Amino acid sequence: MAAKTKLNWIKNYAFETEIDGFTFNLDIAEESGGNNLGPRPKPLLLSALSGCSGMDTVGILRKMRVEDYKLEINVEADIAEDHPKVYTAIRMTFNFTGNDLPADKIINAVELSITKYCAVYAMLKAAAPIKTIININEQEVWNA
């Protein structure tokens, strides 16, 4: 099975993309000559990374019967100064909040995601190093 997207040019630098039946716009900022009609393509890679790993992690935690928590994943990337302006380093931080959260299960779930299941992580780590941090109730419990 192949992954597919469709992209249609709207105007200027704006495009409409279709992925899995969902459509949204891509564009560049007005100060760069665009119309700011949607997100930039490169940060979508970071969103895909956090979405992929986040979905894996909550699925694994569900199987471990870990529930009643909040999860926020923040991703930042350093960008090369010269063209092509690729990501040179990525930092992904998992922020869990809740009562009596089992650190061992959370660490295991995130580690399984980033080492075994998340294909986006596997693809991006081939291009740039990814540092992963886990915080539980604002306390760092894991850093790899």
What residue segments make up the domains of the chain, in order of their start? 1-39, 41-143
- Residue 142: the pLDDT is 98
- Give the rounded distance of the alpha carbon of 7 from its chain centre: 21
Residues contacting residue 125 through CB under 8 Å, at least 6 positions apart: none
- Residue 77: the pLDDT is 98
CATH topology of domain 41-143: GMP Synthetase; Chain A, domain 3 (3.30.300)
Q: Which amino acid is at 124?
A: L
Percent above pLDDT 90 for the chain: 99
Residue ranges of E strands in the chain: 6-11, 14-19, 22-26, 70-79, 87-97, 130-136, 139-143
Strands 14-19 and 70-79, by their bridges, are unpaired
- Residue 1: the pLDDT is 86
Candidates 118, 142, 117; CA nearest to 49 is: 118
pTM confidence score = 0.95
Residues lower than pLDDT 70 in the chain: none
Structure tokens at 34: 């665009």
Residue with tokens 């560049």: 28
- Residue 101: the pLDDT is 98
Instruction: Say how far apart CA 116 and CA 113 lie, in whole Å.
Output: 6
Measured CA distances, 3 to 48, 68, 116 (Å): 14, 34, 20
